[in-house]
Amino acid sequence: MTYSKLAFSKSVDLSKEAHGLGKLTKAIQQHIIGQKNLIESLLIGLLCDGHVLIESMPGLAKTTAAKALAQGVDGEFHRIQFTPDLLPSDLIGTDVFNQATQEFTFKKGPVFHNIILADEINRAPAKVQSALLEAMEEKQITVGLASYKLPEMFMVVATQNPIEQEGTYNLPEAQLDRFLLHVVLDYPTHAEELEIINLDQPTMILEKTSQEEVLAAREIVKNVYVDDKLKDYIVSMVQATRNPHLYSKELATWISHGASPRAAKAALHCAKAYAWLCGDEYVLPEHIQVMWANILRHRIALSFEAQADGISKDHVITTLLKVVAIP
């Protein structure tokens, strides 16, 4: 198989109509200036039936983007502000006694919407995180002895602030691994910020993409071709996070534990979605490489030595990209 030479920094043309999500991407662009990484990640999460963790300072369009995504697919949106006193029942719902029928009936919580914005997710205690974990992994929640299915199109967009750590809880590794992508947002450029302050924010999206179209697009993405050599590269990259001593003494010093096999599956699915959004019929090495930071950022742990030396996870991932051979 011959790979065409694409620039590593190739960006998704979000205005494309050819891939069938033109209406949706245009709808999000009506509300968001810049933040291509955020828009691309939300679209890939939607196509891969995954969840997205966003880390950024306040005011960088996280809530606006999640709302626009929900409106664009004609879905139900709900924002949940996570706080230390939040209870699982505030999230998933509870049984309520009906005096008229003398029976308990289940009252659904906000988690039964299509797009959930879990704002400052790391402020909620362990019981709430456990309830959300079941919803994210199994698309169902359990109350008492009964289980309730969530909508077929269900996506959690979670946020956390990288600066404020007081009153927060570390997310369990099991829950972090359930997030398909961990996206870190930067501030807008001067030109983008100038455009932001001149933007007349649209109040609603007139032309929408149906949920049926999104579900159909997911099936198309699953069938995007991936060469066996690229699958081997994906596995080698994930294996390198678990056996860094085979590649570099520095990596062996920096990484305390590596990514699970779920990272390899995520890389494969995301590369297919990214290739499709780019208008390509098969996956290229560049489609995989551009996804690694968002896939591995929350799945590797740094050693005390790395943290003491100010080594970031992004620097570790960049080093991995240099030492693992590309087919």
Find, among 319, 307, 182, 293, the residue nearest to 256 by Cα.
307
- Would you say residue 182 lies in a domain? yes
Measured CA to CA, the distance from residue 64 to residue 32 in angstroms comes to 7
Specify the pLDDT at position 24. 78
- Would you say residue 285 lies in a domain? yes
Find, among 156, 185, 186, the residue nearest to 171 by Cα.
156
151 & 141 share domain: yes
Q: Is the pLDDT of residue 168 over 60?
A: yes
119 & 257 share domain: no
Specify the pLDDT at position 97. 83
217 & 265 share domain: no
Specify the pLDDT at position 9. 37
Who has greater pLDDT, 35 or 17?
35
113 & 146 share domain: yes
Give backbone dihedrals phi and psi of 197, rounded to 5 degrees, phi first.
Answer: -70, -20
Find, among 17, 25, 19, 14, the residue nearest to 205 by Cα.
25
- Which whole number is the average pLDDT over 85-107? 87
- Would you say residue 202 lies in a domain? no
- Which whole number is the average pLDDT over 240-244? 95
Q: How many residues does the chain have?
A: 327
- Would you say residue 258 lies in a domain? yes
In the chain, the number of structural domains is: 2
How far is residue 128 from each of residues 77, 80, 235, measured CA to CA in Å?
Answer: 19, 12, 33
Locate 136 and state its tokens.
């994210």
| Confidence label for 207 from pLDDT (cuts 50, 70 and 90) | low
77 & 183 share domain: yes
Q: Is the pLDDT of residue 10 over 80?
A: no
- Would you say residue 230 lies in a domain? yes
CATH of the domain at 102: 3.40.50.300
Q: Domain limits at 298?
A: 224-327
- Would you say residue 79 lies in a domain? yes
CATH of the domain at 293: 1.10.8.80
218 & 284 share domain: no
- Which whole number is the average pLDDT over 188-206? 77
32 & 169 share domain: yes
- Would you say residue 204 lies in a domain? no
- Which whole number is the average pLDDT over 89-99? 88
252 & 213 share domain: no
Specify the pLDDT at position 183. 95
Q: Is the pLDDT of residue 34 over 90?
A: no
Who has greater pLDDT, 43 or 203?
43
- Would you say residue 289 lies in a domain? yes
25 & 151 share domain: yes
Give backbone dihedrals phi and psi of 126, rounded to 5 degrees, phi first.
Answer: -60, -40
Locate 110 and state its tokens.
């906000």
Measured CA to CA, the distance from residue 24 to residue 153 in angstroms comes to 15
124 & 134 share domain: yes
60 & 72 share domain: yes
- Which whole number is the average pLDDT over 182-209? 80
- Residue partners of 109: CB distance under 8 A and separation at least 6: 89, 90, 91, 92, 93, 94, 141
133 & 276 share domain: no
